[in-house]
């Protein structure tokens, strides 16, 4: 029997109603598919008629690496993840049953599903936040005042956090939260520094759809003391770094059961219970996990291993320190007959298009010369060979880069477009 699909349009329009339908289905032992509105047909085509029984949910995963996957997570595993986080909160002196769980994401994202499930499992009050409010900090503060007697817990991606901090009302509202998990993408250094100056209770964390969301979290007091990384394993999970590949591997009760593809179900690939995440990492201060980038994102340039995501963070931080109006920077790899691969930079400037439209191309073009000058301080293998103005450049709403989309854009761009360097 195929999983039952929760109507995507209804879920987007009324999350409370969607959650009620989801709860009804899970209580009946069903497998519930939770597609994004634009992905309902693709998910339906992928669903296998035979899969592990419910109660379970099916979510999309893997957009940042280029291909969508549809992973099935058992409710028992998700409840184990909620229990593990509950134990971690108690260790921070926070009673989850006395908290307000703020949920700014729809149910088809694992980070939108889990606040609902945590409140259901651990107690506390669930409060839905309309996504539009995250783009309007003044309206958010007015629509969702944070009571002093009920600690507010919030999960954000760096893009959402930065947008809120661009306005005084957003920063003040965030200061009313008891704890703010930040995950889904690397936390840029300048943003971390700003949060520390504001004394925001940030908890960088790590997880994915396949792991049932968070499997690590850094205590806010450690973050405020300057510790880097995204913390140690939560009580329900174990992590290790593969010595051969540096891949982050996870063993946890919350791991997905497997994935649906082309009408077939494939169990999650495990080696003695360990799942390789596709992320590269290392252990930092105090046993905190530090992410280096994607296993499939590292390139070899001139005999050196280069992690484009790390170079992006360095250049973006340098640009902000220099006061350059840089909104987005994305580094991709191109074949090079001498170097093997070289980086190419896509650039979008700050501009009036804060609602997601294209920024003026001329503004990005004017940015390229000072960015080239900043990149000159990097090792040769990390300096982009080409710089291209990309007025529509933007990550996904969750702050993830859909790199295959921009590789396709790069291939469509005309030869010679942009500034080439030796």
- Of the listed ranges 17-31, 114-128, 296-310, the one predicted with least confidence: 296-310
Confidence category of residue 188, pLDDT binned at 50, 70, 90 = confident
Judged against a pLDDT cut of 90, whether residue 128 lies above it is answered with yes
pLDDT at 293: 80
Judged against a pLDDT cut of 50, whether residue 129 lies above it is answered with yes
Question: Given this structure, which CATH class describes domain 299-420?
Answer: alpha beta
Residue 137: exposure state from Cβ atoms within 10 A (0-12, 13-18, ≥19): buried
Q: Average pLDDT in the 39-58 region?
A: 91
Pairing of strands 213-217, 202-208: antiparallel
Judged against a pLDDT cut of 80, whether residue 417 lies above it is answered with no
The 8-class DSSP code of residue 285 comes to: G
Highest mean pLDDT among 99-103, 338-342, 392-396: 99-103
- Asked whether the CA dihedral 361, 362, 366, 369 is positive or negative, the reply is positive
Q: Average pLDDT in the 363-390 region?
A: 90
Three-state DSSP class for residue 403: helix
pLDDT at 419: 56
* CB-CB contact of 379 with 304 (8 Å): yes
User: d(Cα 252, Cα 255) in Å, to the nearest integer?
Assistant: 6
What are the φ and ψ backbone dihedral angles of 233, each rounded to 5 degrees? -65, 140
Three-state DSSP class for residue 281: strand
Tell me if domain 4-294 and domain 299-420 are identical in fold: no
pLDDT higher for 397 or 288?
Answer: 288
* Percent of the chain surpassing pLDDT 70: 91
Q: Average pLDDT in the 385-411 region?
A: 88
Q: Return the number of other C-beta atoms located less than 10 Å from residue 352's C-beta.
A: 9
Query: pLDDT by residue (tens digit) across 210-262?
Result: 999 999 999 999 999 999 999 999 999 999 999 988 999 999 999 999 999 99
Confidence category of residue 414, pLDDT binned at 50, 70, 90 = low
Query: pLDDT by residue (tens digit) across 293-307?
Result: 878 777 888 777 788
Q: Quickly tell me which residue has 């179900």 as its tokens.
A: 265
Judged against a pLDDT cut of 70, whether residue 266 lies above it is answered with yes
User: d(Cα 18, Cα 32) in Å, to the nearest integer?
Assistant: 11
Which architecture does CATH list for 4-294?
3-Layer(aba) Sandwich (3.40)
pLDDT at 355: 41
- Domain edges within the chain: 4-294, 299-420
């Amino acid at each position: 029997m195929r999983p039952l699909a929760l109507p995507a349009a209804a879920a987007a329009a009324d999350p409370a109603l969607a959650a009620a339908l989801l709860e009804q289905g899970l209580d009946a032992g069903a497998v519930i598919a939770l597609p994004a509105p634009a992905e309902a047909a693709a998910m339906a085509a992928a669903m296998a008629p035979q899969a592990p029984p419910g109660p379970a949910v099916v979510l999309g995963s893997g957009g940042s690496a280029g291909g969508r996957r549809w992973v099935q997570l058992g409710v028992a595993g998700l409840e184990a993840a909620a229990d593990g986080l509950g134990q971690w909160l108690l260790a921070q002196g926070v009673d989850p049953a006395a908290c307000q769980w703020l949920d700014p994401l729809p149910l088809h994202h694992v980070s939108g599903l889990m606040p609902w499930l945590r409140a259901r499992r651990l107690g506390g009050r669930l409060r839905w936040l309309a996504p539009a409010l995250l783009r309007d900090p003044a309206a958010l503060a007015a629509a969702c005042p944070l009571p002093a007697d009920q600690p507010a817990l919030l999960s954000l991606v760096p893009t959402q956090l930065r947008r809120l901090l661009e306005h005084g009302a957003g920063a003040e509202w965030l200061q009313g939260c008891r704890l703010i998990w930040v995950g889904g993408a690397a936390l840029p250094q300048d943003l971390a520094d700003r949060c520390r100056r504001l004394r925001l209770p940030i908890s960088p964390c790590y997880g994915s759809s396949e792991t049932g969301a968070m499997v690590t979290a850094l205590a806010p007091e450690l973050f405020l003391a300057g510790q880097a990384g995204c913390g140690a394993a939560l009580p329900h999970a174990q992590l290790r770094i593969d010595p051969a590949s540096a891949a982050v591997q996870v063993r946890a009760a919350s791991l997905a059961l497997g994935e649906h593809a082309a009408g077939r179900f494939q169990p999650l690939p495990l080696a003695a219970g360990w799942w390789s995440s596709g992320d590269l990492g290392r252990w930092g201060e105090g046993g905190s996990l530090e992410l280096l980038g994607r296993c499939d994102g590292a390139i070899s340039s001139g005999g050196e291993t280069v992690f484009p995501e790390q170079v992006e963070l360095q250049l973006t931080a340098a640009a902000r320190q220099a006061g350059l109006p840089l909104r987005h920077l994305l580094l991709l790899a191109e074949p090079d007959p001498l170097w093997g691969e070289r980086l190419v930079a896509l650039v979008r400037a700050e501009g009036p298009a804060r609602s997601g439209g294209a920024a003026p191309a001329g503004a990005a073009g004017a940015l390229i010369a000072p960015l080239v000058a900043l990149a000159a301080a990097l090792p040769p293998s990390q300096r982009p060979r080409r710089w291209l103005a990309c007025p529509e450049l933007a990550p996904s709403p969750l702050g993830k880069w859909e790199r295959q989309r921009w590789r396709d854009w790069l291939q469509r761009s005309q030869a010679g477009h942009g500034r080439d360097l030796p």
